[in-house]
Structures are given as C-alpha cells and as structure tokens.
Structure 1
C-alpha cells in the first residue's frame, strides 16, 4: 500500500517548534524534526518498503512512519478535492429582526446618516406576520430572536408585542422558549424597559466604540454631542438590575492602530462576560474594510488581553477558531459550525439568509419551518488549494451577488493569516 502526505502547511509555533496543520482534518500537531524530515519522503505516493529501502532499512524509521500514519499526516489516499461551485443550504436557528432603520444617533460611519431619507419602519401587521411565521422553526429546538435596527428601542412597543406572541406560542406548546437578544445604542433606556428585560431574560448588546475621547468622535447625537456618559450610566443600570449585557465594538479604520487601547479601555469600564468585536463592512456590498492580515493579528492579541479579564471574545475569528477546536470543517461562510445561521428579516418582512444584509437580492418569502434557500457559492481556483479553505467556508455569497465579484481579498488574507497567528500563540487558545 502506498502512502502520501495529506495537504498541509507548517507554521512556526512558540519558540522554535513547528506546527503541522492538516488542511483536511484541521488538526494542529507539533512534529519532531524526524517526523518533518520523513514527511518529505511521502510528497509523492510511496510504499513503506520504498522509503525504508532509501534509508537503508532503519527499523527506527519504520516506527516513525507508523507514528505518521497514527497522526493522520500521511494516508493511503488524498482527501476528496473541494468543488468549485456548491449550494449553501442554511439551517436557520436565529432571526435578526430589523424593526426600524431609523436611529436616535447620527454615527459617522452608519448607513442611517447616508440614507436618512430612505429609512423604513416595519409595519405592526408585518411584525406579527413575521413572528408567527418563525414559530415553526423553534418547534423542536430553541431559536433566537435578535431585535435590531437602526435603534430597536425606538419601537419598544414592537419588542413587547413580538415577545408576547412568542410567549403565547410557548404556552400553547408550539415553540421551545426562545432566547431574546438585541443590539442597542442604549440611549433610550427607561425603568419600564429594564423591568421588561429582566422579566424576559433579554440579553443586551450595547454598541460602544471606545473610551469617551474616541467613542464621542464616532457615536454622536444629531447635534454632535457625544454619547459615552449616557451609555455608560445606562449600562451600569442594566448591570445593577442583573441583566446580561455586553459591549459590541465596531473598529473604525481610522482608529485601527488604537484597537488594543480601545479594547482595554472598554473592558475596564464595562463589566461583562463576553465582548463582541464586529468586522467593519461596506454597507452596500458587505466587503471587509479592514486589512485582513493586520486584523487577524489584532484579534488574536485582543483574545489574549480578554483572558486577563476572564472575558470571551466573539469576532470574525470565532467561527474558524470553533472549526479548529472541533476539527470540524465549516459548511459555508455564514455558519458558526455546520450549517447553522442567523437570518435577517428586513422592515418589509422578507427574510435574508445574511445576518449582515437584508438586500432584496438575498431575500425570500417566509414559508414553513422547512424553508430552505439554496444559494450557489462560486470558488476561484485559488480557493480549491487555499490552506484556509476549510476554516473559511468559502466566499461570501452576499458579496458575490451584490458586488458582482468573487473574492473579498481582505477576508481571504484574514483567514490565511489567522492560521499563522493561532499557531504562534497556541497558549492563548488551549484553555478557551
């Protein structure tokens, strides 16, 4: 039987070690020098006897070859090659419901500022239709309702009605009790809202983009006044009420070099268990607007910083890291693991299988709980041999359809660089 080295990369580990990355199984293995040397003997398919003969029958070499087989770094056949075009069949487990595109703020980089004359609000009857249509998705497994905007607290009445419908379905046995979450700028908080959050265990994500001197350049009221003091005071009201709250940071490209300082300042000021670092995207095309290699390095650095606070980080690195941790290939670019995704529901009530974008190109009418959307994803030739292909999940179908392009180069650079950064900083991730 002939053996051949599986597709792999070597990365520098901590110190002088070298880490073998199995591109198919996603396993990271530190190899000894003799293992690395012998692996080169199997660059082409060869029998064990052929390799031993070339090395004058050294019995110790035979034991090392057995270890290579056990480590699955050589195999009897190459893994099946990836296909150039595949169908994304997302399994929706969460709904980001855009209650309104209007907002109480005028943040510098937000689409609200750029499209103020075209902002939509979901009609009450549309809201009810949407919630009832999503009930079948949670008949057997818990789904998440994520209230979004604009600023969703401008339509707190809608949030109350949506939860009322869902709880009615729970009482009737039609749905497993959902998880309620939201993203808010938290400038409109009231005692009534706090009581509601506590009663229904709503998990609250609060947008903050840095310490006061940076946040108040970016997240401002219409009159130009900064929001930090108001948001921080309201956040502490949530904490005192025992509500699960966390901060979402969206890095501004102009302050990217200061992201570690921003991150540290936010963790100092806001108690939380998890912090989210959003990826800056072009609103119209969902193209990444940050340099991928630099961003990968920064996110690994932030993960190490967060450990000092006992805080976990949710970011663009989370899905590929989950794939590496579980040795589980990502089935698509939108999923955390397997094919599970968050869909977004626009103000018109149509469902998009992109959590970031409710563009008409991406939407489909609601059906029953078995509704699926088969979205073609086209891989370039370089995708088929990319070392990061199985932690990436493939090109973004939303970007492909909206931008009429195939690859987001910043995202590609991020995924490839992340592998290098992880292997050089394994101690950060071993206990996560």
Structure 2
C-alpha cells in the first residue's frame, strides 16, 4: 500500500480518519482512534521509534496503521469539517428549459412546487469563477460541466467562462480544464457547435429509448415531439467532429423489445460512450432493482461491450469494483478523487445540483463531514460494491440508509454473478 495522506477529525464523540487520495472516510473504533493519535505523535516527533508504554491492543493497532503506510505531516484534529477535494464542478446555469419533459427531475419538478425558477446572472458566474473555480484550478486539473434546465439558454455564460478559463490556462495561471455539457439538443446551432468543437467540449444529448417514447416524453412548450430535431442536432455534432454521446433514461414500462431498441439507439446516435440514467421520478422508485430494470441494464452493458462503447449506469460502480477487485468504500466513487460539486444558479456550492440540493447547501471551502457507514452496512453482502449510505440522502431525509439503493445492490449482485465473465474487465 502506498503511503496515504490522512487527517483525523473528532465529531460528536466519534473519531474519523479521512484519506483524500481515495476519498475514503473511516470511523475508527476506540483502539484504532487512540493508536492513530499515538501515530500522530510519532510522525510529529520525526522518529521511527515505536511509541512506548501502550497496552497490547493499542500497540497492535498502531503497528497495523504503521504497516498500512499511513504517513503524513497533515494529520491534525479539526472541528468535523473536511476540506473538499473536488475533481470538478457541475454548474447549473438555469432551471428554465424550452422543453416540458414528463418526469423531468429538474425543471418540471421545480415548476410543480410553484417556486420561481432560478437563472444564473453574469455577475454570479463571474463571482463563481473568481472565488471557486479559478482557486481550485490553480491547485489541480478540473472538469467543468454545464447543466440546467437547458444550459444552452445561457450560452453567452458558457462562452464567457470557457474563454476566460482558456486564457488563464494559456497564460499558465491554472491547470488544464476539460469542458462538458448536458443538453436537450434543441438549440445547437452550427456556430455554437463549432465553438464546442474548438474548445474540446464533450456534449451529452438527452434522448429516450425509442422515437415514439421520445416524442411522448420529450415535448416542447407547444406539446410537440422533438425526436427529429434532436437527431438532426446530434448529426451536426458528429459532422463537426465534436465529442458527443447520448443519455437515456429507461422509464417503465419498457417496450417488449427494449434491448433491441437500445441497440438501435447506439446505431442512431453513434459515439464512444453512452449514459443510462436512473429515473428520479417518485412514482418509479419501485422500478429500481426490479428484475425488468436490472435485466435491461445488464443487457445494455453486454451490448455496449460487444459494440466497443463505454457505458455509464447504476451498475457501473459495481462492475468497476468487481472488475478491478477494488472494494468500494465510499458512495462517491470506487477509486480516486471523484467528487463533483454542484453550483446552483444562485452561486451556492452544493453536493448535488438537483434532488437534494436545497437540503445540502454548503460553503465552497468547507463541506460538511460526510456521513459514515451505519450498522446495517457493516454486515451487508453488497457493502463493498455499494460504498455505503449516500450522505445527501441522509442529510435530506434524516434516515441512515436508502432502502431503494440497498434493494438495487442486493438484487443486482446475484444476477451479475451469473454472467460475471461477460462484464468483467479483460
């Protein structure tokens, strides 16, 4: 094991060890907590001497931590506040959209609350760039993802941010930034596509499984279907050489030929990757982990593997953990630093751009201490491919675990293992 930078935090009578390199946060038992503090003393003393005058269990725990490679001058006690280490930011430029899609987890849901939809101003974006994005970009390379609503409604802001950050990168003031965007594809004019191509954007276009389903769900504000317009826009993206892919959400009930339809979708929208989203509509929660849903996801992964297309779905973290033989110890990612912080239209930095955003708004420089595993997770057969409870869910609901997430992972594993050779990385 490589030496790991780590920090200790005391909170509510508990001791947590935070490993930024792998985004793991581990609650220590009393023995390991005391040993960790002794290890701190050993590190600060700058000697290789074993701390003396400790009992057997503490000495064994100290030796275990030492042998695991923990070595850091950054080990310190704080007030239960972790420094965020985002690998990127998802900027929600507006909650408005020129579509009125049925079951949209963002715009449509917000409209139903009766609250006004927010739109980011130029002044807010400039503040976000100066106070959040640029300081982080001086420390590391970042991903910047423009989101909505429909982000193309605020294209001038996309252009402003891209040009400013490119200029800073060319001057050597910041690390490289990669740009991406999710759009409904309705207003992708040639000049804008040329801009995205020039600046290396990865453009994701939202579609539905079949043209008929698309025209039923993805309607414009005049209740017209939009499939033909989206196909045309996607073709232009590919003709310009812009990196692009599609995102599809398999809402129930699926058509009888769902996997055939998925294969046809790959042909209609050629690309190097595809994203299969999880439905967020409250009426479809029972769909998560249902046999039909899991069979579709497994089949989609098989089809993509045969076609040489990368796929991202709710199964991806499970497959990644299994194929790399790397336990998933955090709900954020399997390995590496994978936190994407969101930035809401009012400039607030949040752990999620939608769903739990209002319940989990945090300061950009001091996100709250992530929740740790609860007792149900410690004995769960899916723990090491699930990563434990989602902190946003815990904060928003006050519950320890998300039963829907638990059900999904527990039902997915037996089906996956039957054909493990198909999905395992070569």
**TM-score (ref. length: structure 1):** 0.73
User: Are 2:308 and 1:310 aligned?
Assistant: yes
- The match for 1:210 is 209
Is the Cα contact below 8 Å between 2:356 and 2:393 reproduced in 1? no
- The match for 1:300 is 298
> Structure 1: where are the runs of 5+ without partners?
1-85
Match of 1:115 among 104, 107, 110: 110
Is the Cα contact below 8 Å between 2:87 and 2:337 reproduced in 1? no
**TM-score (ref. length: structure 2):** 0.74
Is the Cα contact below 8 Å between 1:101 and 1:150 reproduced in 2? yes
Is the Cα contact below 8 Å between 2:328 and 2:385 reproduced in 1? yes
Match of 2:288 among 287, 291, 296: 291
399-408 or 211-220, larger mean C-alpha shift: 399-408
The alpha carbon displacement at 1:90 in A equals: 5.5
Is the Cα contact below 8 Å between 2:324 and 2:425 reproduced in 1? no
The alpha carbon displacement at 1:293 in A equals: 4.5
Is the Cα contact below 8 Å between 2:81 and 2:367 reproduced in 1? no
User: Are 2:95 and 1:96 aligned?
Assistant: no
The alpha carbon displacement at 1:325 in A equals: 2.3
User: Are 2:122 and 1:128 aligned?
Assistant: no
- The match for 1:401 is 395
**1:373–1:404 CA distance, 2 compared to 1 (3 A):** closer
- The match for 2:185 is 186
**Aligned-partner Cα distance in 1 for 2:254–2:83:** 37
- The match for 1:430 is 424
State which structure, 1 or 2, has the greater radius of gyration over its C-alpha atoms. Answer: 1
**1:113–1:431 CA distance, 2 compared to 1 (3 A):** closer
- Secondary structure of the equivalent of 1:205? strand
Match of 1:410 among 380, 384, 404: 404
Write the deviation string for residues 139-192 of structure 1: whole angstroms up to 9, x where unpaired.
343210000000000000010011122112212322222110000001001111
**1:405–1:254 CA distance, 2 compared to 1 (3 A):** farther
Is the Cα contact below 8 Å between 1:136 and 1:174 reproduced in 2? no
Q: Which has the higher contact order (CA 8 A, sep 6+)?
A: 1
Is the Cα contact below 8 Å between 1:330 and 1:337 reproduced in 2? yes
Is the Cα contact below 8 Å between 2:93 and 2:154 reproduced in 1? yes
Is the Cα contact below 8 Å between 2:297 and 2:315 reproduced in 1? yes
**Aligned-partner Cα distance in 1 for 2:81–2:313:** 25
**Aligned-partner Cα distance in 1 for 2:382–2:295:** 16
- The match for 2:241 is 242
The alpha carbon displacement at 1:408 in A equals: 2.1
**Aligned-partner Cα distance in 2 for 1:89–1:332:** 16
The alpha carbon displacement at 1:283 in A equals: 7.3
Is the Cα contact below 8 Å between 1:185 and 1:207 reproduced in 2? yes
**Aligned-partner Cα distance in 1 for 2:108–2:367:** 34
- The match for 1:15 is none
The alpha carbon displacement at 1:270 in A equals: 0.8
- The match for 1:139 is 138
Aligned length: 341
**1:166–1:130 CA distance, 2 compared to 1 (3 A):** same
**Aligned-partner Cα distance in 2 for 1:361–1:140:** 29
**Aligned-partner Cα distance in 2 for 1:100–1:360:** 15
